[in-house]
Amino acid sequence: MAEDNRVRDALNLIEQWIEAQHAYEQIPGISMLIVHNQDVIERFAVGYSNPEMQTPATTQTIYSICSISKLFTSISLMQLRDQGMLRLDDPVSKHLPWFKIEQVYPQSPLITIESILTHSSGLPRESDYPYWNAPLFDFPSREKMVEQIKSQKTLYPAYTYYQYSNLGLTLAGEIVAQVSGMDYATYVLENIIIPLGLEHTRPEMPEELYGSQLAIGYSAKTRDGERTKMPFFQTNAIAPAAGFSSTAEDLAKFAVWQFRLLESGKTEILEANTLREMQRVHWLDVDWKTTRGLGFGVYRKSDITFTGHEGSCPGYRTAVMLEPKSKIAVIFMANALGVDADEYARGVYKIIEPAVKKVLHTPEQAVGTNPDVLKYTGTYTYDPWGGEVAVIPWEGGLAMADFPSTTPPTDLTKLKQIEKNISGKNSIRS
């Protein structure tokens, strides 16, 4: 697949775009993988995981994946559901007797497992601690989280509005531990991470690797264009919602497993129909725009439905986006805030999907760009009107792309070869 001229042109555009964004946005490091069904189409990394030590980012660099952790927690719950050990309509209090949050709305339905998986429980977004605030990022212990719930209140009646809740998925992890009889970390390792061969995925941040394989995180850019180094952190009790770390390689394996399971219809870690159930819309908000699966995000963008999740923790932005129909997944990871990881992942998808589709429908090798005009490829300054213009091979000819750009597929200007210009040689024009 990756050797076809159409796919190679798309990958070249993707790499040039990401390299340009890395430079213009001053992102320390980026790691990315593109998957089609069971194959990796491309591995790409740029920048540094540790800028101070000039350690290059690679696809084996470890990042905090923050809210992508919720997928592992949700899969754990659904495994237990399939084993008959719990039901989605079980009240949370059935499994966690200490769950005694003040219900502000007496007529509210019970807060159930399903409601916390769809973020429709009416729970507050967080345990009542300021752990997202610099400089400490002081996440509570389990004991503190359990104790603090007694003084918290619901925001809405259950099943009324979508309200994203890290507290809710933290409780989901507590239910996994209670029902399975194992501590949460051990359960996830033994039932998901190890069976899938995710060698560098953990329900925590590996402090001993911080600054080496584990990337150092940085803040969003300040007014003067600088980024601040973020301190190391552990999410402690909030780990089921936000505590995992992983690599682009491991998340690609995670995506490949999902495509394999959906295609086979069998049971591997999870029943295939259960995964389909999780990736369907189970919650539609009153605005008819906000949708949610069971643990999985379900995102409708320009008539394309993606599933997966994004993550945002102090110093890191990550995303794993899957499009089940095309069987294409994009993993995008950066060690800086203020980076729209999910938008980058979807942007990459929009470039690669048409090329993959053409190869699948017309497997004959497409004609490549005439070698005589390849000498015009390269990056040209666009001063003073913009950043730069890249001339790239495209559909047997050449095209121009303006960088920086948030919409590279629509920024292409195709070029046409003409002959006998004033120099007497071939040239190109738009």
Q: Which domains does the chain have, with CATH numbers?
A: 63-338 (3.40.710.10)
Q: From its phi and psi, is residue 37 left (phi > 0), alpha (psi between -120 and 50) or beta?
A: left
Going by pLDDT thresholds of 50, 70 and 90, the confidence category of residue 423 is very low
Higher pLDDT, 187 or 367: 187
Mean per-residue pLDDT, 70-93: 98
Residue 58 pLDDT > 50? yes
- Locate 218 and state its tokens: 């940085």
Mean pLDDT of 5-23: 95
Closest CA to 40 of 215, 254, 301: 254
CB 138 within 8 A of CB 131: yes
Residue 335 confidence (pLDDT): 98
CB 74 within 8 A of CB 117: yes
pLDDT confidence tier of residue 17, bands split at 50, 70 and 90: very high
Is residue 168 very low, low, confident or very high in pLDDT (cuts 50, 70, 90)? very high
pLDDT at 418 (0 to 100): 76
Cα angle 49, 52, 57 (rounded to 5 degrees) comes to 15
For the segment 277-334, what is each residue's pLDDT rounded down to a tens digit?
A: 999 999 999 888 899 999 999 999 888 999 999 999 999 999 999 999 999 999 999 9
Q: pLDDT for 394-413, tens place per residue?
A: 988 999 999 999 888 777 99
Asked if 203 and 190 count as a contact pair (C-beta separation under 8 A), the reply is no
pLDDT band of 424, cuts 50, 70, 90 = very low
Over 90: is that where the pLDDT of 117 sits?
yes
The per-residue pLDDT for 429 is 45
**Of the listed ranges 69-78, 261-270, 410-419, the one predicted with least confidence:** 410-419
pLDDT at 369 over 80: no
Res. 365: pLDDT tops 90: no
DSSP assignments along 145-196, one per residue: HHHHHTT-B-SS-TTSS----HHHHHHHHHHHHHHHTS-HHHHHIIIIITTT
134 burial level (CB within 10 Å; 0-12, 13-18, 19+): exposed
Alpha carbons 80 and 66: distance in angstroms, whole number: 23
pLDDT over 50 at 232, yes or no: yes
Q: Is the peptide bond before 384 cis (omega within 30 degrees of 0)?
A: yes
Residues, the chain: 430
Tell me the pLDDT band of 416, cut-offs 50, 70 and 90.
confident
The model's pLDDT over 243-267, given as tens digits with 9 standing for 90+, comes to 999 999 999 999 999 999 999 999 9
Cα separation, 359 vs 369, whole angstroms = 17
Dist CA 404 CA 322 (whole Å): 25
Tell me what percent of the chain is helix, strand and coil, each rounded to the nearest 5: 35, 25, 40
Q: What is the overall mean pLDDT for the chain? A: 94
428 band by pLDDT with thresholds 50, 70 and 90: very low
Report the candidate in 356, 346, 348 with the shortest Cα–Cα distance to residue 5: 356
